[in-house]
Amino acid sequence: MNASPEHQRILLDIADLDRRIAQADRARTHPSQAARITELVAIRQEQLRELTAFTGTRDDVRTELTRLESDVALVEKRRARDVERLAVATNPKDAQALEHEIASLTQRQSNLEDAELDVMGRLEEADAAVAAQQALIDITTSEGSTLSAQGKADVAAAAELGVQLARDRAAVAENVPAPLLAEYTQRSANSAGAALISRGTCEGCRMVLPGTDLNDIRRAADDTVVFCPECGCILVRTEESGL
């Protein structure tokens, strides 16, 4: 195949645009934030499970405290009733029985109130555990929301860039003869498509070419399209090639 050196050099611009288009497409489909967002989703799910456990513990303690408060109120009511009865009692045996029951209820109330204080302390700890866990969830959620917003912005920017690059490529490709462009397109499926040869190295696959291949390239006419024996891309010769 033959093509003017000018047309061959344009292939380098197209190859560069294709590389940038591929980068933009990767940025659009695989934003840099995606891995961390996936990680945060898993972290948040685990944090929510822990929050459920902490909340369940807190609710159990609250239930226990409610029961104790009810018991204290009941004992107080019974003790107040017995005090009233004792105040009007005229039978010594009845008065003695009431005094004994009042003493028993007083001790019972004291024990319940001690238990109540203990449960209140446990409830304070449970409330603190729930609040701390919720704070962790809020931090995780905030980071996830921030990264999601950044990711959406980056995806939109990458999509816009891809459209612009595609327009630029179409404009540049109009200057390349159809046969040469078709050859480039076919080879770009498995290689860089076209690359500069510089100091005996193919810039597409970064392989140093054997001396015999370099000699063949040196002897080739300027308008002869030559190919990399390693990756198969079109080798473009310029003043930078050092041939």
User: Could you read off the pLDDT of 115-162 as tens digits, one per residue?
Assistant: 999 999 999 999 999 999 999 999 999 999 999 999 999 999 999 999
Domains of the chain: 5-12+177-241 (no CATH), 31-173 (1.10.287.1490)
- According to DSSP, the β-strands at 194-198 and 234-236 are parallel
The answer to whether residue 193 scores a pLDDT higher than 80 is yes
pLDDT at 119: 97
Interval 239-243 mean pLDDT? 80
d(CA 191, CA 185): 10
Residues 93-121: what's their mean pLDDT?
A: 93
Contacts of 160 by beta carbon, 8 Å cutoff, 6+ apart: none
pLDDT tens readout for residues 153-167: 999 999 999 999 999
- Residue 87: its pLDDT value, please? 85
Give 202-229 pLDDT, tens digit per residue. Answer: 999 999 999 999 999 999 999 999 999 9
User: What integer pLDDT is reported at residue 136 of this predicted model?
Assistant: 97
Q: What would the two tokens of residue 84 be?
A: 């009233």
Query: Longest C-alpha distance within the chain, in Å?
Result: 135
Contacts of 155 (CB under 8 A, 6+ apart): 27, 28, 31
Task: Specify the pLDDT at position 242.
Answer: 77
Which of 16-25, 93-102, 191-200 is predicted least confidently? 93-102
pTM: 0.73
d(CA 243, CA 239): 8
Residues 51-66 as b/e (b if ≥16 CB within 10 A, e otherwise) read beebeebbeebeebbe
H runs (alpha helix) in the chain: 5-29, 34-88, 92-173, 178-187, 211-219
Average pLDDT across the chain, whole number: 95
What pLDDT sits at residue 142?
98
Q: What is the pLDDT of residues 23-51, one digit of tens each?
A: 999 999 999 999 999 999 999 999 999 99
Segment (H or E) for 234: strand 234-236
Mean pLDDT of 57-86: 94
